[in-house]
């Protein structure tokens, strides 16, 4: 082979190797892009809760169940449950600050965690799922790239609870028991009262809302919202006291929106000789209503939180996570009531009326009152 031929062959060889290496590089880049989210399969997740913990059978537990459902499909992921013992907002935020360095995603269910926004700003590589509150502003900033803050229209679920109570009561006396007058809890109260008033007007009922002296709630603006507030989400003893007092006044259906405190109301109803029922909250509480061969749960007013928690964690894995403040309504099937056979004790007539009202709520024809939507339980669109 001549020197020219050898030189030409060397040039061609180098060119060929350059093409091959470029192709391999492109292939590697594409594979890297395709697997960009796969390293997140091993997400380290923490959930920080109020004193009632992740086994409260209600709000916190449903958030936790969303994480567990995610982990079932992503077995490399892990979760740590942290219980903040006081419920104080400053302590709640500090509990998050204490662990933020060790986790990829932190789930914080509850209004008391609004202040995690300051931690999110300091830790832009961490992601936060805040449920039940918008993040507290940091300067002029109200939304954050690494916080997905979801609120639910609790007033819609409360509305269905109020309708159910008014349509099923035999004594024409019903009530709602709440924990603390955070916006979400007031939403439940106002929604319930809206539902009772709707049933009274539309279906000719004459149902009274029973409120106990000394238990009126004060919301975050300092306004008196009435109702029956225990002042805690983790005080079963007070819950039982309130439950017994309501039963003594002739109340036969009680909507219980009080977290762990609600367990005391359940106990009072189970021990009552009267035919008293409760309406569960946040999740399907039918199993909690077992009382010998009977069941005290009429139905449950629910927010489909676990579904939305799992959906958000999936967005972290697939890279589509987007921070923002959202409110979830019946039009996304995120609010409602339990109507599955064997999980409620509603009459067929009541169920039909509730299903009709649900469509009206989805369409916006009925807009129950909430803490801050400008409507009252006595005057709202659809009444």
CA-nearest of 59, 161, 58 to 111 is 59
Ranking 14-18, 143-147, 164-168, 322-326 by mean pLDDT, the lowest is 14-18
pLDDT of residue 49: 95
Burial of 68 (0-12, 13-18, 19+ CB in 10 A): middle
- Burial of residue 52 (CB within 10 Å: 0-12, 13-18, 19+) is buried
Residues 6+ apart with CB under 8 A from 186: 178, 217, 219, 225, 227, 370, 371
Tell me if residue 1 falls in helix, strand or coil.
coil
- Give span(s): CATH 3.40.50.2300, the chain: 38-152, 154-303+347-363
Contacts 24+ apart (CB under 8 A), 271-276: 272/244, 272/247, 274/247, 275/170, 276/247, 276/251, 276/252
pLDDT at 41: 63
Q: pTM of the predicted model, to two decimals?
A: 0.80
User: If one looks up domain 38-152 in CATH, what number appears?
Assistant: 3.40.50.2300
Q: Name the CATH superfamily housing domain 154-303+347-363.
A: Response regulator (3.40.50.2300)
How far is 180 from 71, CA to CA, in rounded Å?
Answer: 32
pLDDT at 40: 55
Give the residue from 73, 220, 143 showing the smallest Cα distance to 128.
143
The pLDDT value given to residue 59 = 87
* Mean pLDDT across 144-161: 97
CB 153 within 8 A of CB 186: no
**What rounded mean pLDDT belongs to the chain?**
90
Residue 1: Cβ-neighbour burial (10 angstroms; 0-12, 13-18, 19+): exposed
């Amino acid at each position: 082979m001549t020197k020219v031929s050898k030189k030409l062959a060397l040039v061609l060889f180098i060119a060929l190797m350059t093409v091959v290496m470029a192709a391999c590089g492109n292939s590697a880049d594409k594979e890297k892009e395709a697997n960009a989210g796969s390293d997140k399969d091993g997400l380290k997740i923490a959930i920080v809760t109020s004193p009632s913990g992740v086994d409260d059978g209600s709000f916190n537990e449903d958030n936790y169940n969303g994480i567990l459902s995610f982990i079932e499909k992503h077995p490399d992921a892990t979760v740590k449950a942290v219980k903040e013992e006081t419920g104080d907002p400053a302590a709640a935020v500090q509990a998050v600050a204490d662990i933020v360095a060790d986790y990829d995603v932190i789930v914080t269910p509850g209004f008391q965690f609004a202040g995690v926004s300051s931690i999110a700003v300091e830790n832009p590589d961490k992601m936060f799922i805040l449920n039940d509150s918008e993040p507290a502003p940091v300067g002029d900033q109200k939304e954050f790239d690494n916080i997905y803050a979801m609120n639910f229209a609790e007033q819609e679920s409360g509305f269905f609870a109020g309708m159910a109570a008014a349509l099923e009561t035999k004594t024409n006396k019903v009530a709602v028991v709440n924990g603390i007058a955070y916006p979400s809890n007031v939403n439940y109260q106002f929604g319930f009262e809206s539902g009772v008033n709707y049933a009274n007007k539309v279906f000719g009922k004459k149902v009274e809302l029973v409120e106990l002296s000394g238990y009126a709630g004060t919301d975050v603006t300092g306004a008196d919202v009435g109702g029956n507030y225990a002042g805690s989400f983790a005080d079963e003893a007070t819950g039982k006291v309130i439950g017994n007092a309501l039963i003594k006044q002739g109340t036969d259906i009680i909507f219980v929106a009080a977290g762990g405190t609600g367990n005391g109301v359940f106990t009072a109803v189970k021990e009552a000789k009267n035919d008293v029922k409760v309406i569960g909250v946040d999740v399907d509480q039918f199993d909690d209503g077992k009382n010998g061969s009977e069941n005290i749960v009429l139905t449950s007013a629910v927010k489909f939180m676990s579904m939305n928690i799992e959906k958000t964690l999936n967005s972290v894995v697939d890279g589509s996570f987007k921070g923002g403040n959202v409110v979830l309504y019946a039009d996304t099937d995120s609010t409602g009531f339990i109507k599955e056979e064997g999980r409620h004790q509603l009459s067929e007539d009541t169920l039909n009326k509730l299903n009709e009202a649900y469509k009206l709520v989805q369409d916006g024809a009925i807009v129950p009152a909430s803490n801050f939507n400008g409507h009252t339980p006595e005057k709202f669109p659809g009444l």
